Amino acid sequence: LGMLFAPAPGGGHGGGAAQAGTAPHWTYAGDQDGPQQWGRLDPAFATCAGGHSQSPIDVAGVQDSGLPPIVFDYRKATVDDVNNGHTVQFALANGSGITVAGHRFELLQAHFHEPSEHTIGGKAYPAELHFVHRDAGGALAVVGVLIAEGAPNPVLSTLWAHLPATVGEKINGGNSSAFDPAGLLPT
């Protein structure tokens, strides 16, 4: 479980319901629109070129941050699912959030990357889930959960059953109150 404070354009971390075609095209590979080019694709992506801990990153070792543990306050939610062309994003505006060192961030949305956006010691995982949070001042906190194959997860199974298949497709309340974001956190 990791926490990233300055996301790149790739993850759709803006929090809103992104629509296909509203931002420059980017990919995770390639000379024209891959990660090394993200900072040049749009002025809004400038941090990708000048930042020091931008996505995607390889976590090469564990380092104690000195911060207290993240306090999760996740609740069951009705979600709106949208296929934005890069991922399926689940909008979650239900009062869920996290607290980091006494600072509250509200949960806005969750989305997946396949394969994982980040790596551990150079190893990619089959998928990665990002929980995107925003504080009252607009700062973002993204909690990343790496996903490996294993026993079925009932929350994931519910989400997979309601995925919008085409770019721009949106399913309002598709997962009803069955979606419990806490069920996607590691035990």
Active site residue 86: yes
Q: Which amino acid is at 72?
A: F
**Of 13, 52, 86, 111, which residue is the catalytic one?**
86
Eight-class DSSP state of 115: S
Tokens found for residue 184:
């996607």
Question: Which runs of E-coded beta strand occur in the chain?
Answer: 2-4, 58-59, 71-73, 80-83, 88-91, 97-100, 103-113, 119-120, 123-124, 127-134, 140-147, 170-171
Give me the active site residues, please.
86
